[in-house]
Amino acid sequence: MFKRISTIATVGLLSLTSVAAFAEPRGYIGAGYGQYKFKFEDDSNNQEFNDENTVGKVFLGAQATDVVGAEVTYLSFSDGEDGFIKSEIEGISAALTLGLPLGDYFAIRARGGWLMWEANYKVSNLPIRKDVEGGDFFAGVGLEVGLGESVDIRIDYDRYQLDEDINPELDMMSVSAQFSF
């Protein structure tokens, strides 16, 4: 059932794009800054963590058309702290991007891909430290606003459901400048 709905939705979205959506391929590079919320529960150590902090990102991508593209992103999350627990998180993601151009200056973007991540957390004044790393799927949506021929502003929301023993969840909202070449 889900596959059928997904297929119908994808075909429907792609059919809304015009012939002009198949423009020349282009590359882009950008950087962004935003807010993230990270929380987890570690039942083995009876610990919980819930923090909001800032995140920086740098990305490089290519659009085969205005509809289909790919992107690689480096993410550096500010050190988080919740009471006695401190965390550090960083990662690199690779994603397939899909877009729906809305005229010449706007586009709705969706992305999904794989995040390779590393998270470290430590309980203050105790010898409890845990280093975990992994790779997990993520998804996101965003709005792209063109400011000219080669400059765009992006507003993105991404959701990372990291699959580890501590059940970490990571939500991120960011604003980025993107330069096309």
Each residue's pLDDT tens digit, 16-42: 444 344 468 899 999 999 998 877 666
Pick 171 or 38 by higher pLDDT. Answer: 171
Least confident range of 49-53, 62-66, 72-76, 149-153:
49-53
**3 state DSSP class of 13:** helix
d(CA 177, CA 153): 5
pTM: 0.76
Residues 6+ apart with CB under 8 A from 10: none
Q: What percent of the chain has pLDDT over 90?
A: 49
Whether the per-residue pLDDT at 165 is higher than 90: the answer is: no
- Token look-up 């990291």 returns 162
DSSP secondary structure code for residue 21 in this structure: G
* Mean of pLDDT over the chain: 82
* Helices within the chain (DSSP H only): 2-16
Its sign, for the CA torsion 28, 22, 103, 174, is negative
Topology of the domain covering 2-180: Porin (2.40.160)
Both tokens of 45, joined, read: 């150590």
Hey, where are the domains in the chain? Answer: 2-180
**Are the C-beta atoms of 170 and 34 separated by less than 8 Å?**
no
d(CA 122, CA 5): 44
Confidence at residue 78, expressed as pLDDT on a 0 to 100 scale: 79
**Are the C-beta atoms of 117 and 73 separated by less than 8 Å?**
no
Pick 107 or 77 by higher pLDDT. Answer: 107
Least confident range of 9-13, 63-67, 72-76:
9-13
Pick 24 or 63 by higher pLDDT. Answer: 63
